[in-house]
């Protein structure tokens, strides 16, 4: 089944997206990360993700997948080495600039981070409100996307009344609603059944085809498309293949 995501989320100016997405590369050079004086969780990480690429990150629990994603999303800063994001060395980015950069990214974390006093509709629409869009302009888009992820009947529900899988789908809808330059998803199919998991991966794949650089951490390797890049984290090291080039 082919998904036309352009009919599910707001239209974007193609020329404007192509000009911003062209710098949505992600480059790690000898990156290490540690908490306090503990041993490094990640050590000498080197890879480059081209703009518009789709990459799956795999590895056992506790290997550092979530930490790697948080470094990309600017929730943490590396202990050493260099990370380049949107053409900038992240260690040189002033904290005041981080919110604007984060608005160019969609993020799905394992704790969902939905706002309890806002309805599902309002949570998903929040990035559009922050961007200054009017409700009349995005109402149909948000409702269409909620229906597609199986939450059309829950649009007025508050997050505390949702199941874990419903919260997961709401968080995913919020992350993709703006067609971000970079999408980061941490175990996005962990709380849904296999059919919905495949449906969500198709959603991410279609978004990627529109030019979004997509990075997904997962335990479920059966959902990974054959042509996707794969990075594996184990014992603090990253190995894999990016655009046919061996990493590690």
Domains of the chain: 5-10+33-89+98-247 (3.40.50.300)
Q: What percent of the chain has pLDDT over 70?
A: 91
- Give the H/E segment covering residue 20: helix 14-21
Residues 6+ away with beta carbon under 8 Å from 72 = 26, 83, 85, 182, 184, 215
Q: How many CB atoms lie within 10 A of CB 134?
A: 9
pLDDT(240) > 50: yes
Residue 188: both structure tokens together = 């996005």
CB 21 within 8 A of CB 104: no
CA distance 248 to 238: 6
pLDDT at site 242: 87
Strand partners, 229: 55
Phi, psi dihedral angles at 114 (to 5 degrees): -80, 150
E-strand spans in 115-204? Answer: 182-186
In this structure, the number of other CB atoms found within 10 A of the CB of residue 52 comes to: 18
**Cα separation, 91 vs 209, whole angstroms:** 30
Q: Does the structure show a pLDDT above 90 at 159? A: yes
Token pair 């948000």: residue: 142
Residues 6+ apart with CB under 8 A from 200: 149, 169, 172, 188, 189, 192
The answer to whether residue 187 scores a pLDDT higher than 60 is yes
C-beta separation of 120 from 146 below 8 A? yes
Distance CA 239, CA 8 (A): 35
**Per-residue confidence band for 33, with pLDDT thresholds at 50, 70 and 90:** very high
Q: Looking at residue 3, what is its pLDDT?
A: 44
Q: Closest Cα to residue 36, out of 4, 79, 72, 71? A: 79
Residue 219: strand, helix, or coil: coil
Q: What is the C-alpha to C-alpha distance for residues 86 and 76, in angstroms, rounded to an integer?
A: 16
Q: State the Cα–Cα distance between residues 83 and 85, nearest whole angstrom.
A: 7
HSE-up (13 A, CA, CB side) for residue 86: 22
| Distance from C-alpha of 216 to C-alpha of 186, rounded to nearest angstrom | 6
Q: Is the pLDDT of residue 155 over 90?
A: yes
For 122-145, what is each residue's pLDDT tens digit? 999 999 998 899 999 999 999 999
176 Cβ contact partners less than 8 Å away, ≥ 6 residues apart: 5, 9, 106, 145, 183, 203, 204, 207
Residues 23 and 3: their CA atoms lie apart, in Å, by 26
pLDDT of 111 reads 85
């Amino acid at each position: 089944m082919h998904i036309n995501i352009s009919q599910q989320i707001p239209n974007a100016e193609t020329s404007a997206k192509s000009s911003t997405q062209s710098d949505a590369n992600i480059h790690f050079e000898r990156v290490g990360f540690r908490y306090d004086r503990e041993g490094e969780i990640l050590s000498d990480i080197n890879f480059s993700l081209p703009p518009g690429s789709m990459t799956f990150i795999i590895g056992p629990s506790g290997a550092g997948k979530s930490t790697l994603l948080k470094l990309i999303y600017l929730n943490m800063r590396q202990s050493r080495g260099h990370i380049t994001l949107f053409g900038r060395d992240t260690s040189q980015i002033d904290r005041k600039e981080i919110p604007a950069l984060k608005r160019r990214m969609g993020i799905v974390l394992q704790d969902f981070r939905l706002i309890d006093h806002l309805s599902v509709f309002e949570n998903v629409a929040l990035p559009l409100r922050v961007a200054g869009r009017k409700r009349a302009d995005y109402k149909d888009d948000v409702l269409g996307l909620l229906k597609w992820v199986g939450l059309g009947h829950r649009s007025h529900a508050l997050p505390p009344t949702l199941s874990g899988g419903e919260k997961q789908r709401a968080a995913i809808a919020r992350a993709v609603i703006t067609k971000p330059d970079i999408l980061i998803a941490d175990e996005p199919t962990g709380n849904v059944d296999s059919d919905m998991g495949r449906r969500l991966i198709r959603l991410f794949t279609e978004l990627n085809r529109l030019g979004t650089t997509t990075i997904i951490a997962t335990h479920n390797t059966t959902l990974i498309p054959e042509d996707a890049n794969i990075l594996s984290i184990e014992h603090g090291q990253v190995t894999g293949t990016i655009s046919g080039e061996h990493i590690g």
